[in-house]
Structure formats: structure tokens, C-alpha cells
Structure 1
Amino acid sequence: MKNVKLIGSKTEQDIRKQLVKSNELLFKSEENKRLLEVIRSLYPEMKVAYIIDWIPEQGEDIYKLLINENIILEIELDRYNAEIDPIIESKSITQYLQGLSKQKQIKLGVARDLANKYLDNMNS
């Protein structure tokens, strides 16, 4: 499955704003401190991350993140007990795209575009 072609639509612009906010909250908010610690322990080379999906369950939160521009990380964190180890699954972009809805494909495309631009700026 190929990547979605971005066209600069209103939907993409809205998603872009959401993702930029998710990135800021991930790195700056107290609520996401544990999530950030888990990611950093797995990927110390992480330069940028975007929360592309968040599912609040009864006792846990399930996050799907794009790490740098090519790693999809699914993390399940217990909401009430920080002692419980998170459940972690890592996927390639290709694996993640299988069966993904059009909306989520666009979100991933925008997140990858943001990540690529961020990493290009760091390297220039």
C-alpha cells in the first residue's frame, strides 16, 4: 500500500494543527511524562514524535505514535498503576497501513510530512 498523497486540504490542515499540539503536549505536559519516559527508554535516538491515535480505555490508555519518520509505536499504559509495565508493540509503516481507514492514512501522511520537515530542519 502506498502513502497517501497530501493535497493541502482543510482536513489536512486541521490534522496538522492537532499533531503539532500532540507533539508539544507529549514533550511539555506533566500528564504525558510517563509516556515520554517509555518512548525514550525504547528509542533514545528519538528526535520527534506525534500521537497519531489515542484510545482511552477503562483502566488504560492506548497510544499510537509516529517516532521520527518511520516507526509506529503502540503503547498501552495502565492509568492507575505506574508500576505495571506498559504493553508495547512496534510496527513498520507498511504493517501499520494495512487495513487503515482513509482518515487515519491521511493523519499518518501528515504526521510523516511534519516529521520529515522537522528532521530536515535539524539537519540543515
Structure 2
Amino acid sequence: MRLIGSKLEQDYREELKASRAFHFSANSQSRLKEVLQSAGYSVGNALVLHWTPDQSEDFYTVLIEGAFLAAVRIDRSDAGDTPSIKRYELRDYLRGLSRVYQVQLLVAQDLVKAIS
């Protein structure tokens, strides 16, 4: 599969850029950035692919340097709770992924190349 410059791709690229600016800019105070950095992950080329807010937790799927994914769970109600981070290889993530999510992953990987 390859990118074709569709409206969907352009919209998702803009969403990724805005999310990156919010979470991973140099002056960002994002809890997600803090959690990833404290676990030893580089956030210079990180992009949030998915965010799912729950009643007391936030779940993130983050593409790290275009090479692998981190699934992050952060408890909003208990700052003392240790966040959960699980690493996934891209080949494992791609298994059974819908076409729309495959396109989103390609857009994210392309954006990582552009900002590197």
C-alpha cells in the first residue's frame, strides 16, 4: 500500500502535527511526554496514533521514531500510580489492521521521515 495524497491522508497528517505539537514540543508539559521520557523512550520523532480517554485513565498508541509502537496507560485520578507502557513491533501491530488504520500508519511513518 502507498500514499496517494487523498483528503483523508492530508487531514490525518494535520491531526498528527497538532497532536505532536501539543504532546512533544520542547516546551510541552504533557504527562505522556514525561512518562515516555522517564521510561527511556525518545520523543523527538514520536507521534500519537490513537488516544482513548476513559473515566479515570487515558490510553495512547504512540509511534516511536517510525520503528515501533508504545501502548501507554496513564491514570488521571492517581498521580502516584505507575503508568503502564507496552512495546509492540510494527509487524505485530499491522496484523489484522483495517485499511483506514494502515493508511494512518503510513501517513505517520511518512511524517516521521519528514521531521527526521
Alignment TM-score, normalising by the size of structure 1: 0.85
Amino acid at match of 1:84: D
Match of 2:14 in 1: 17
Match of 1:83 in 2: 80
CA contact (8 A) 2:46 2:65 kept: yes
How far the C-alpha of 1:12 sits from its partner, in A, is 0.2
Deviation per residue, 1:38-71 (Å, 9 max, x gap): 1112234442111100111121000001011112
- Any idea what SS the aligned residue of 2:78 has? coil
What RMSD, in angstroms, separates the aligned Cα atoms of the two structures?
A: 1.3
1:96 and 2:93 matched? yes
Match of 2:69 in 1: 72
Q: In structure 2, what is the Cα distance between the partners aligned to 1:103 and 1:49?
A: 20
- Any idea what SS the aligned residue of 1:66 has? strand
1:50 and 2:47 matched? yes
- Matched positions, count: 114
Which stretches of structure 1, 4 residues or longer, exceed 4 Å deviation after superposition? none
User: Unaligned stretches of 5+ in structure 2?
Assistant: none
Alignment TM-score, normalising by the size of structure 2: 0.91
- Any idea what SS the aligned residue of 1:82 has? coil
Amino acid at match of 1:20: K
Q: Percent identity?
A: 38
Amino acid at match of 1:92: E
- When residues 40 and 21 of structure 1 are mapped into structure 2, their CA distance, relative to the original with a 3 A threshold, is same
- Any idea what SS the aligned residue of 1:74 has? strand
